[in-house]
Amino acid sequence: MANLTSMSGFLLLGFSEERKLQILHALLFLVTYLLALTGNLLIIAITTLDHRLHSPMYYFLKHLSLLDLCFISITVPQSIANSLMDNGYISLGQCILQVFFFIALASSEVAILTVMSYDRYVAICQPLQYETIMDPRVCRHAMIAVWVAGGLSGLMHTAVNFSIPLCGERVIHQFFCDVPQMLKLACSYDFINEIAVAAFTTSTAFICLISIVLSYIRIFSAVLRIPSTEGRTKVFSTCLPHLFVVTFFLSAAGFEFLGPPSDSQSAMDLTFSIFYTVIPPTLNPVIYSLRNEAMKAALRKVLSKEEFAQRKMYLKAIFKL
């Protein structure tokens, strides 16, 4: 840590150099990570085991939970380990992988949120054509496109970002390899390739945001025409959580990535990075479950003694065969 210029990796400063605060940060992140792990695994299990939830909406929700599970696992465990060991060093290879998967999963998250908004639009505004438009084949192709688009975005950012020559001390004022913070380590401000890739990614994200906004404008205009109060409540219970997730994730990520990187560690930079890296994967299972009666009923069924006994007997029968 004394010779920061000659080392091949990077030094992540994290939240504090004080030992007590490092332990506190590790414990808070550990609790948050376990909550996110449990919540997202529960959604994946419930939407897989309960046949009543084998619809496009819950199919996309299952993939969103898988994305969130991977997304939070890219940054938080590494940060916990660094705080516990009082060592913020991360190797070049680890940093490259972290940047690739972080950008890939973040891009996939934006894409799947766009697909989910379109799914809600078709379900509410074109209910008679819903099964035709959102058939299983279309849903599978949509998810393949989401994962491939995320992978390509991560590949472009990683290739361009790590081709820029770096000078000076390799210190990153974040708890993970953050692209905006890494750019200020460059020898010059000639980022023409990175600017081109960032402009393309930002334009794509903006198109996704416009698509989501247009979908919800049509959804809410259709909902307001529903005469039944119960019908409006049911629609809002499925749409409002999704709209909250989209707004929260995109606004926090946009503030961090579109703002200029600071020359020193900023409490606001760390706060906003937590807002789009840690909080959404943790809150998404709660948001989608608490206001969704079908999810709550499926959870009660999976956790019930009768259902547990049936699955135990089923597994015993399989093993006997």
In this predicted structure, what is the pLDDT of residue 1?
45
For residue 225, pLDDT beyond 50: yes
Q: Write the pLDDT tens digit of every residue in 145-179.
A: 999 999 999 998 898 888 888 777 788 888 888 88
Range of weakest confidence among 4-8, 49-53, 204-208: 4-8
pLDDT category, 32, cuts 50, 70, 90? very high
Element at 171 (helix H, strand E): strand 171-172
- CA–CA gap between residue 77 and residue 218 (Å, rounded): 41
- CA–CA gap between residue 137 and residue 122 (Å, rounded): 16
In this predicted structure, what is the pLDDT of residue 314?
54
In this predicted structure, what is the pLDDT of residue 38?
92
End-to-end CA distance of the chain: 59
Please name the amino acid found at residue 91.
Answer: S
What share of the chain in percent tops pLDDT 70? 83
Q: Write the pLDDT tens digit of every residue in 242-264.
A: 777 777 777 777 776 666 555 55
pLDDT category, 309, cuts 50, 70, 90? low
In this predicted structure, what is the pLDDT of residue 41?
92
**Which overall architecture, per CATH, does domain 10-292 show?**
Up-down Bundle (1.20)
Please name the amino acid found at residue 124.
Answer: I
- CA–CA gap between residue 286 and residue 35 (Å, rounded): 10
In this predicted structure, what is the pLDDT of residue 202?
79
| Domain assignments of the chain as residue spans, ordered by start | 10-292
What would you measure as the largest C-alpha separation in the chain, in angstroms?
70
In this predicted structure, what is the pLDDT of residue 2?
46
Cβ proximity of 176 and 12 under 8 Å: yes
Strand partners of residue 12: 172
Report the mean per-residue pLDDT for the chain.
Answer: 81
Q: Write the pLDDT tens digit of every residue in 122-152.
A: 988 888 899 889 999 999 999 999 999 999 9
Match 């058939």 to its residue by tokens. Answer: 135
Match 């390899």 to its residue by tokens. Answer: 177
Pinpoint the alpha helices (H) of the chain.
19-49, 56-85, 92-125, 130-133, 136-161, 179-183, 192-223, 229-258, 267-277, 279-290, 293-303, 305-320
Strand partners of residue 89: 11
pLDDT category, 99, cuts 50, 70, 90? very high
- CA–CA gap between residue 76 and residue 14 (Å, rounded): 11
User: Could you tell me which residue, 292 or 191, shows the higher pLDDT?
Assistant: 292
Range of weakest confidence among 90-99, 200-209, 210-219: 200-209
